[in-house]
Amino acid sequence: MTDRDDAAETRRLIGAARRAVLATTREGWPYASLVLPASDAAGQPLLLLSDLAEHAKNLKADPRCSLLYDGTEGLADPLTGFRATVLGEAATVRDDSLMKRYVERHPSAAQYAGFGDFRLYRVTVTRAHVVAGFGRIRWIEAAELVGPSTAG
């Protein structure tokens, strides 16, 4: 596979993911938690987080984060499968079309999307570290992963 193929596979993985692991920083320590991601039209990750959640508090203090997308489900040896860690900065975004997109991806979120303590975050991708199987490891820059910025 080429670098271009890995970028395309990473875009597909981000777009299809039903879950990811969000890593933030808390008091200088890494903190990881399970999240339900979606993505905007440009391929930037979207997260719906409660202000009460530790990861939301962490992002307010330091917006840098990473999201691990795991494409290894069903493999006998997951370490041979495709996965990507996306690095970026998260910021809240108020955009009804993005919230609609998020809820379409995760219909159960409709129950709490309107609660006052929930905020939609968009992660502006900086780069991704891709592991595409044994010996196929590389960094992919944002320009190869995301399209033009969307309003919001």
In a domain, 104, yes or no: yes
Provide the residue range defining the domain that includes 14. 3-145
Tell me what pLDDT residue 150 has.
46
Tell me what pLDDT residue 3 has.
64
Confidence of residue 149 (pLDDT cuts 50, 70, 90): low
User: Which of 9-13, 68-72, 85-89, 130-134 has the highest average model confidence (pLDDT)?
Assistant: 85-89
In a domain, 150, yes or no: no
Please state, for a pLDDT cut of 90, what percent of the chain lies above it. Answer: 82
Count of structural domains, the chain: 1
Tell me what pLDDT residue 148 has.
65
Provide φ and ψ at 82, rounded to 5°: -85, 130
